[in-house]
Amino acid sequence: MCVPQGLYEAYKQRNDIEVMFDSYKNFLHADKMYMQDRYVLEGCLMANFIAMTAYYKLYSRLKQANLISKYSPKDIIELSKSIYLMKIRGEWNLSEITLRTKHLFKKIGIDYLN
């Protein structure tokens, strides 16, 4: 690898980390903790760790699929909020999903829609 390309990739990694911390504070609102005791703090930190892991996994999948310029992890989370299971006459049914959303989720490897 040539030096300029290595520098560029190192800079991009630094930017990726900054984007993750920005998301941590602004989207997940994880920079505010209201702790009553040690156990609540540990639980909050664990929940934040899981949320950041999931967020970064979405970011990574979008980047691999070359969709990071069109979508952010927040966009995928917002799209996912409208997908749910509902019980109708004793049978579980998946809510309606647009074809565009199905294709997007397939591209990034989200397969819970089957």
pLDDT at residue 82 in the model: 87
Q: What sign has the CA pseudo-torsion 64, 68, 74, 77?
A: negative
Task: Specify the DSSP class assigned to residue 86.
Answer: E
Between residues 21 and 66, the one the model is more confident about: 66
Res. 91 pLDDT band, cuts 50 70 90: very high
Rounded to a whole number of angstroms, the distance between the first and last alpha carbons of the chain is 42
Q: What is the mean pLDDT of residues 67-74?
A: 86
pLDDT tens, position by position, 36-58 = 777 877 787 788 788 888 888 88
Which pTM does this prediction carry?
0.64
Measured CA to CA, the distance from residue 42 to residue 35 in angstroms comes to: 9
